[in-house]
């Protein structure tokens, strides 16, 4: 297949592109400097000139806290950009894979303790989540062929992600205070990329949740990162209120997929197992820990 990846310079894009190529697909990977998804006509012009079998939109404004003070910028990419991408893909009948977030679920957790499923109604909190939900709705409203993939708590080899931040602070001997009352599912971008590669080979399947297996808190995640990295450092638990972030965040954003099972696909492995391989194999981790990559 010929696959176009937008936002290819981000955490997910950088893992997804090599996975798609390794699976034998021809990939055009465009970072923000090469195609701005919020520029009117940019993608439509490209799709008019070149034929693709799939478009994957990894582009997003992802700074959750900063979005509260620059809502126009967040909306420009996450709502307007997503809408332009969806409209162009629908016009040229190219199946679109659009990435969205667990943060669309800001409400009280389901009473039976399960994770959020695809049929649960979203209730986004804050600017980032609201603009991502607007992007989802724009994709759904075109009626074009779609994979709308919600994922959660991403970490990869680059970017300001949680495991690298924890390791950097521990290596520097800085105190570690981590929020202990938000529950979710960490997802390694390489695992997600492998799963997306499989998904894109199937016909478009609409909304699907796709996250690392199991659930945890940021505090327990931090402790597991240090334990598996063989580092001894105390992690003080703090509440969301004590932490005082600019943006509101869901208390519980575990995703569970009914669709993934219906499609007969294997769920992502437990987050602890993925974390172990990440810590052993990612060059970004090796460089923080100052060990050979
Ligand atoms: N990170 C998470 O924990 C998480 C959790 C759940 C869902 N998601 C979703 O997963 C997807 C991938 O996230 P990620 O972690 O890979 O994000 P990321 O590392 O922030 O990458 C997003 C990329 O999009 C680019 N971008 C921003 N505005 C753009 C525009 N107007 N046109 C084209 N590209 C633009 C960014 O470029 P610049 O760097 O130059 O701004 C960046 O390279 C996003 O849809 C995100 O909402 C992320």
State how far the Cα of 291 lies from the Cα of 293, in Å rounded to an integer. Answer: 6
**How much is the pLDDT for 219?**
98
**How much is the pLDDT for 284?**
86
Q: How far is the CA of 111 from the centre of ligand 1 (A)?
A: 32
**How much is the pLDDT for 252?**
98
Q: Which residue is closest in CA terms to ligand 1's atom 43? A: 10
**Tokens standing for residue 99:** 């990435």
**Tokens standing for residue 158:** 């680059």
Q: With contact defined as beta carbons under 8 Å apart, do 87 and 141 qualify?
A: no
Q: Which residue is closest in CA terms to ligand 1's atom 2? A: 154
- Reduced to 3 states (helix: H, G, I; strand: E, B; else coil), residue 3 is strand
Pairing of strands 96-101, 146-151: parallel
pTM: 0.97
**How much is the pLDDT for 293?**
64
- What is the atom index within ligand 1 of the atom nearest the CA of 57? 45
Please report, for the chain, the start and end positions of each structural domain, with discontinuous segments joined by +: 2-160+186-214+254-265
State how far the Cα of 261 lies from the Cα of 90, in Å rounded to an integer. Answer: 27
Q: Which residue is closest in CA terms to ligand 1's atom 4? A: 154
List the chain pLDDT tens, one digit each, 293 residues. 999 999 999 999 999 999 999 999 999 999 999 999 999 999 999 999 999 999 999 999 999 999 999 999 999 999 999 999 999 999 999 999 999 999 999 999 999 999 999 999 999 999 999 999 999 999 999 999 999 999 999 999 877 899 999 999 999 999 999 999 999 999 999 999 999 999 999 999 999 999 999 999 999 999 999 999 999 999 999 999 999 999 999 999 999 999 998 999 999 999 999 999 999 998 889 888 887 76
Give me the helices (H) in 52-115, please: 71-75, 82-91
Sign of CA dihedral 279, 281, 283, 284: negative
Q: How far is the CA of 144 from the centre of ligand 1 (A)?
A: 22
**How much is the pLDDT for 159?**
72
State how far the Cα of 259 lies from the Cα of 286, in Å rounded to an integer. Answer: 36
Q: Which residue is closest in CA terms to ligand 1's atom 48? A: 154
Q: Ligand 1 pocket: which residues have CB below 6 Å?
A: 6-7, 9-13, 31-32, 36-38, 58-62, 77, 81, 99, 101-102, 132, 151-154, 159
Q: How far is the CA of 245 from the centre of ligand 1 (A)?
A: 20
Q: How far is the CA of 240 from the centre of ligand 1 (A)?
A: 24
State how far the Cα of 255 lies from the Cα of 268, in Å rounded to an integer. Answer: 12
Residues 6+ apart with CB under 8 A from 163: 155, 225, 275, 278, 279, 285
State how far the Cα of 199 lies from the Cα of 148, in Å rounded to an integer. Answer: 11
State how far the Cα of 246 lies from the Cα of 66, in Å rounded to an integer. Answer: 8
Catalytic site positions: 128
- What is the atom index within ligand 1 of the atom nearest the CA of 99? 45
**How much is the pLDDT for 291?**
76
Question: In CATH, what number does 2-160+186-214+254-265 get?
Answer: 3.40.50.720
């Amino acid at each position: 297949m010929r696959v176009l990846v937008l936002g290819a310079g981000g955490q997910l894009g950088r893992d997804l592109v090599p996975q798609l190529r390794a699976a034998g697909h021809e990939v055009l990977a465009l970072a923000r400097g090469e195609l701005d998804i919020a520029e009117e006509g940019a993608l439509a012009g490209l799709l008019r000139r070149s034929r693709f079998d799939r478009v994957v939109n990894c582009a997003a404004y992802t700074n959750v806290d900063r979005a509260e003070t620059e809502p126009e910028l967040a909306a420009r990419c996450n709502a307007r950009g997503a809408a332009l991408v969806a409209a162009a893909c629908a016009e040229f009948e190219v199946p679109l894979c659009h990435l969205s977030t667990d943060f669309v679920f800001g409400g009280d957790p389901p009473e039976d303790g399960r994770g959020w499923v695809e049929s649960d109604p979203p209730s986004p909190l804050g600017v980032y989540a609201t603009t991502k939900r607007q992007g989802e709705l724009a994709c759904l409203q075109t009626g074009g062929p779609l994979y709308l993939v919600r994922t959660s708590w991403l970490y990869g080899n680059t970017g300001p992600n949680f495991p690298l931040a924890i390791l950097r602070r521990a290596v520097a001997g800085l105190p570690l205070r981590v929020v202990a009352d938000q529950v979710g599912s960490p997802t390694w971008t390489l695992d997600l990329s492998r799963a997306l590669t499989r998904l894109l080979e199937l016909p478009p399947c609409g909304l699907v949740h796709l996250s690392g297996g199991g659930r945890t808190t940021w505090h327990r995640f931090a402790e597991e990162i240090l334990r598996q990295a063989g580092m001894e450092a105390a992690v003080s638990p703090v509440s969301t209120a004590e932490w005082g972030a600019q943006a509101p965040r869901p208390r519980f954003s575990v995703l569970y997929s009914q669709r993934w099972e219906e499609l007969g696909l294997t769920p992502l492995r437990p987050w602890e197992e993925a974390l172990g391989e990440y810590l052993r194999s990612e060059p970004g981790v090796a460089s923080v820990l100052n060990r050979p990559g």
